[in-house]
Amino acid sequence: MFIDTHCHLTDQSCGGENLDAVIARAKAAGVNMMICPGADPEDIESAFNIAKTHDNIYCTLGIHPEHAGIDASKYITDEMLRDVKTVGVGEIGLDYHTGNDNRLSQIELFQQQLSMARQYNLPVAIHTRDAEADTADILKNVRGVMHCYTSSWDLARIMLDRGFCFSASGILTFKNADEIREIFAKIPNDRIVIETDSPYCAPIPYRGKVCEPAFVIETARVLADIKNLPLTELEIILEQNTRNLYPKIK
Ligand SMILES: [Zn+2]
């Protein structure tokens, strides 16, 4: 089966009243499992509830750096982190592209959530943008995945040494993404997972549309090309990688 390892089903455009149809289209496309991250303080509970009410959907819970300044433990409870459907902490990280004036509070929120992950022995799903040095500095003694990876080969090498996985999104299919394709060509096959980051970053040929989990196949096709593997073989590798990354998945 294909697994969309990162789709914001809490977003009204691909979730909400569209959720049942989105899940049905994903299954029809062979995408039989999804991992829904929390990002906003308001959607933590919603991500958790979607996972709790669907057999094939798990969640990672975390608060995105754009909400720096809040106390994550107000929204993410110990009970949620212990739950069988919560497979990781994320998406968390640093974003100096949109927020450059609050680096310290971003780092504080990031550290707080890394502690949660360590306490519950959960992998982390990392968002990093224009913050490579601090990301490499902080991201120690934890395992996880660099979500929607678009950073440099230098950071990739560091995180490979620390056992991290790398998630390819629809960006891998974009015409101007040669550099990202070259990076994924170099990443060992057993360290790659795929995602849509729905509702963002729809792959070619759906670019400009609301992205949904069914489209993850397009990223898989491009990755199969890069790796010179039959799609069916890559499908098995990616499923195994996802299960290795998130051991709580049944
Ligand atoms: Zn995301």
Q: Percent of the chain at pLDDT above 90?
A: 97
Q: What's the confidence (pLDDT) of residue 90?
A: 97
* Both tokens assigned to 4: 């969309």
Do residues 220 and 175 touch, judged by C-beta distance below 8 A? Answer: no
Answer yes or no: is 131 within a domain: yes
| Contacts by residues 131-138 (CB-CB < 8 Å, ≥ 24 positions apart) | 131/93, 131/94, 131/95, 131/96, 134/94, 134/96, 134/103, 134/107, 135/93, 135/94, 138/94, 138/107, 138/110, 138/111, 138/114
Cis peptide before 199 (omega within 30 of 0): yes
Q: If you measure from the C-alpha of residue 206 to the centroid of ligand 1, how many angstroms do you get, rounded to a whole number? A: 18
pLDDT digits (tens, 9 = 90+) for 211-224: 999 999 999 999 99
| pLDDT of 98 higher than 90 | no
Q: What's the confidence (pLDDT) of residue 154?
A: 98
Instruction: Look at the chain and report how many structural domains it folds into.
Output: 1
Phi first, then psi, for residue 121 (nearest 5°) are 50, 45
Q: What's the confidence (pLDDT) of residue 239?
A: 98
Domain residues for 42?
2-245
Q: Which of 107, 142, 111, 149 is nearest to 128 (CA)?
A: 149
Q: Which residues pair with 133 in a beta bridge?
A: none
**Is the overall model pTM greater than 0.85, yes or no?**
yes
Answer yes or no: is 195 within a domain: yes
Q: How far is Cα 148 from Cα 127, in angstroms, rounded to an integer? A: 8
Q: If you measure from the C-alpha of residue 40 to the centroid of ligand 1, how many angstroms do you get, rounded to a whole number? A: 10
pLDDT digits (tens, 9 = 90+) for 111-167: 999 999 999 999 999 999 999 999 999 999 999 999 999 999 999 999 999 999 999
Q: What's the confidence (pLDDT) of residue 105?
A: 96
CATH number at residue 110: 3.20.20.140
Q: What's the confidence (pLDDT) of residue 79?
A: 98
pLDDT bracket for residue 173 (50, 70, 90): very high
Q: If you measure from the C-alpha of residue 149 to the centroid of ligand 1, how many angstroms do you get, rounded to a whole number? A: 11
| pLDDT of 100 higher than 80 | no
| pLDDT of 16 higher than 90 | no
Q: If you measure from the C-alpha of residue 237 to the centroid of ligand 1, how many angstroms do you get, rounded to a whole number? A: 23
Q: How far is Cα 142 from Cα 122, in angstroms, rounded to an integer? A: 8
Answer yes or no: is 198 within a domain: yes
Cis peptide before 230 (omega within 30 of 0): no
Q: If you measure from the C-alpha of residue 201 to the centroid of ligand 1, how many angstroms do you get, rounded to a whole number? A: 10
Answer yes or no: is 250 within a domain: no
Cis peptide before 195 (omega within 30 of 0): no
Average pLDDT taken over every residue of the chain: 97
Q: Which of 9-23, 132-146, 175-189, 225-239 is predicted with the least confidence, judged by mean pLDDT?
A: 9-23
